Amino acid sequence: MRVTRTLTITAVTAVTLGLGLAAAGLAQFTPSANAAPAYPSKPIRVIVPFPAGGGTDIIAREVTSNVAKSTGWTFVVDNKPGSGGNLGVDAAAKASADGYTIVLGQTSNLAINPTLFSHLPYDPLKDLAPISLVASAPLVLVTPVGSPYKTLDDVIQASKTKPGTLNIASPGNGTVAHLSGELLQKTAGIKLTHVPYKGVAQAVNDLIGGQVDLYLSSVPTLLSHIRNGKLRPLAVTSLKRVTDLPQVPTIAESGYPNFEASTWFGFAAPAATPKDIVVKLNAAFNKALQSPDLVKTLSDQGALVLGGTPEAFGTQIRQDITRWASIIKASGTRLD
């Protein structure tokens, strides 16, 4: 009996130990019920800090649409215009740093506004994590097709004859377009009257209607109006001519060597976003930017595809904050 009992206890112990070992083994190979799902497991909100239909909005939708097709990810574009782009960028900077909110910033709200505004609610260098540059676009100076000004020199000469009588519209105070117009006036030694608008649509309508004389904005924003014959392009702000506007001279070749201004666009996330998520987003955007279809689409809009690392984008932001600060201070422009 004693032997039998010993064997019985031994057998039970062995079974118990075996089950314990098996359970331990399963625990090693079975995902934890609390493990986080693979990113992304839900839609990614893309804040566009300008109204729908503008250049930033167009680029955001084209790029994220391409990524969605190749990855199956879902993006939801959220237009949050206001305060020169500050409202949307601030919303992104203060969002949860989980990778599910990103923003398509650009030169104005990431590199210009830190100097332009006395009390900016965010610091692009501290509150945002750069993901990737996407594209850049030169600006184009246009007039209504019925305007008497057919060349940049016509504008320069008319302005020198009657300083301040010609007006120039921009998408808003402190935008790249506004400050590029200030740079043009300083370079050419002329005086134009600046007319700021809250966005693109009303400015273009008033320009076409003859309420304003000149308008300076990005090529993607104005290209369709140029192609349909409603606006006449006078000059572009890049150092080289734009592929889709080959007949339009640069300001540099029009007698003002080295004149150059452009706006770039890039995705960023809240600063504390995990590095692995930033890297994953960067890889997805860079892959999309190599797509011939997307390259053609953006090129047709007058944009130059960029891409690159998060570190390179961060360097671009820092360098342009310094560059535009000198232009802002020289113009005396300040917003609060």
**Cα distance between residue 102 and residue 211, in whole Å:** 37
Q: At what angle do helices 292-300 and 55-71 cross, to 10 degrees?
A: 170
Residue 78, amino acid: D
Res 335 pLDDT > 70: yes
Residue 266 and residue 246 share a domain: no
Residue pointed to by tokens 């064997």: 7
DSSP 236: E
Structural domain includes residue 66: yes
Whether 109 and 181 share a structural domain? no
| Helix, coil or strand: residue 63 | helix
CA distance 42 to 147: 51
CATH number, domain of 111, equals: 3.40.190.150
List % helix, strand, coil for the chain (3-state, nearest 5). 45, 20, 35
* Residues 266, 135 contacting (CB under 8 angstroms): no
Residue 16 lies in a domain: no
Are 156 and 214 within one domain? yes
One domain, residues 146 and 248 = yes
Task: Dump pLDDT digits (tens) for 52-106.
Answer: 987 789 899 999 999 999 999 999 999 999 887 899 999 999 999 999 999 999 9
Q: What is the pLDDT of residues 269-307, one digit of tens each?
A: 999 999 999 999 999 999 999 999 999 998 887 788 999
Same domain, 128 and 158: no
Cα separation, 23 vs 166, in Å, equals: 82
Vertex 222: Cα angle to 217 and 227 (nearest 5): 150
**pTM beyond 0.85:** no
Q: Is 143 helix (H, G, I), strand (E, B) or coil?
A: strand
CA distance 64 to 72: 11
- pLDDT of residue 2 exceeding 50, the answer is no
CATH number at residue 240: 3.40.190.10
Q: Please determine, for residue 24, whether its predicted confidence score (pLDDT) is greater than 60.
A: no
Alpha-carbon distance 154 to 197, whole Å? 24
Same domain, 129 and 268: yes
Could you tell me the residue range of the domain that residue 291 belongs to?
44-137+262-331
Domain boundary at 254, 280, 315, which?
254
* Beta carbons within 10 angstroms of residue 332's beta carbon: 7
229 lies in a domain?
yes
**Across residues 170-174, what is the average pLDDT?**
82
DSSP H or E segment with residue 268 = strand 262-270
Tokens of 57: 């909005």
Does any domain span residue 93? yes
What is the Cα–Cα distance from 164 to 142, expressed in whole angstroms? 18
Q: 148 and 238 share a domain? A: yes
Q: Quick check: is 33 in a domain?
A: no
Three-class SS state of 290: coil
Segment 122-142 shows an average pLDDT of 96
Quick one: pLDDT at residue 35?
63
If one counts the domains in the chain, the total is: 2
Burial class (CB in 10 A: 0-12, 13-18, 19+), 272: exposed
- Provide the pairing of β-strand 101-106 with 193-196: unpaired
Q: What are the C-alpha distances in Å from 7 to residues 18, 20, 25, 129?
A: 16, 20, 26, 66
pLDDT at residue 153 is higher than 80: yes
Task: For residue 11, tell me if it sits in a domain.
Answer: no
Q: Is 83 helix (H, G, I), strand (E, B) or coil?
A: helix
Q: Which of 219, 254, 289 is the last residue of a domain?
A: 254
**CA distances for 67 relative to 53, 60, 283, 318, angstroms:** 20, 11, 10, 28
Tokens at residue 93, please?
A: 């900077």
Query: Could you tell me if residue 146 is inside a domain?
Result: yes
* Residues 223 and 302 sit within 8 Å (Cβ to Cβ): yes
3-state SS assignment for residue 113: helix
Of 254, 284, 308, the last residue of a domain is 254
Q: How far apart are CA 126 and CA 71, in angstroms?
A: 30
Residue 18 has pLDDT above 70, yes or no: no
At residue 330's C-alpha, the angle toward residues 315 and 311, to 5°, is 5
